[in-house]
Amino acid sequence: MELVGVRVEIPANTPMVLLREIEGRQRLVPIYIGNPEATSIHYALEGVVPPRPLTHDLFLEALAAVGARLDKVVVTEMRDHTYYAELHLETPDGPKVVSSRPSDAIALAVRCDAPLFAHEALVDEVGQEPPPEPEEQTEEILDEFHDFIENVTPEDFAG
């Protein structure tokens, strides 16, 4: 998956992250998140370096201090309108998986360039088809116009 960005959903004024399939149909997975997590993800995407580590920065520093690193993030499921994710860690004792909120997992992944994944069943369940590209819309409108021109008669304008 690729992180498209952080957006604010209007009119509810609720932040969300938008993930997109990199391959295939490029379906979108919107996940509503809290304001602090949205700010944290936005800062990381913009390259803002705070004077002191924020929570997600601190977590990655703590992982590094014990010899662990974030290998990948997997958004696994949605139950009762709540998304779940996993942090896949590489540690000196071998791989470990830790349950996480997707917003925190994404905030960490953005900071250390860890890849984002989502279970196929989840994307099948909640994935949304992307809106048509503007040039696709233009082509469709031109096709309709050509059909109209080819089939129009003077009687069509009688009124």
Give the DSSP H or E segment for 137: helix 134-151
Q: The tokens of 7 are what?
A: 């957006």
Alpha-carbon gap, residue 40 to 38, rounded angstroms: 5
Which domains does the chain carry?
2-153 (3.10.690.10)
- Most confident by average pLDDT, 8-17, 47-56, 120-129: 120-129
Residue with the larger pLDDT of the pair 137 and 107: 107
Mean pLDDT of 49-64: 93
Calculate mean pLDDT across residues 114-138: 85
Q: Note the pLDDT tens digit of each residue in 72-84.
A: 999 999 999 999 9
Average pLDDT over residues 35-49: 91
pLDDT of residue 133: 64
pTM above 0.85, yes or no: no
Sign (positive/negative) of CA torsion 98, 4, 38, 77?
negative
Rounded mean pLDDT of 28-48?
A: 93
pLDDT level of residue 12 (50, 70, 90 thresholds): confident
> What residues form DSSP beta bridges with 79?
82
| pLDDT category of residue 88 using cuts at 50, 70 and 90 | very high
Burial of 119 (0-12, 13-18, 19+ CB in 10 A): middle
